[in-house]
């Protein structure tokens, strides 16, 4: 998995700063600052690229929830599993 950490101040990020992408399995992972981890399934590489270069990363990340199945975790374990 390849990781990217954004500069929070530069991108005005309030909810996350690190994402990871597994190209072979097409899984995008967002590590939220509140400790939750969201794993989006079957995400195309182009969509990840769009998120990385977007000037409004927070808004683009929110849109992922309506287009992709996801699993949500906390440090305590599994919170949600939606397929």
pLDDT digits 0-9 by tens, 15-68: 999 999 999 999 999 999 988 999 999 999 999 999 999 999 999 999 999 999
C-alpha dihedral (6, 34, 70, 83), degrees to nearest 10: 180
CA angle (70, 33, 50) in 5-degree steps: 55
> What is the 8-class DSSP label of residue 35?
S
pLDDT recorded at residue 74 = 81
């Amino acid at each position: 998995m390849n990781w990217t950490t954004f500069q929070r101040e530069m991108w005005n990020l309030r909810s996350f700063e690190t994402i990871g992408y597994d190209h072979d399995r097409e899984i995008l992972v967002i590590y939220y600052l509140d400790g939750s981890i969201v794993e989006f399934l079957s995400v195309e590489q182009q969509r990840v690229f769009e998120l990385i270069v977007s000037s409004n990363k927070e808004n683009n990340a929110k849109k992922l929830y309506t287009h992709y199945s996801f699993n949500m975790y906390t440090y305590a374990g599994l919170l949600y599993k939606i397929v």
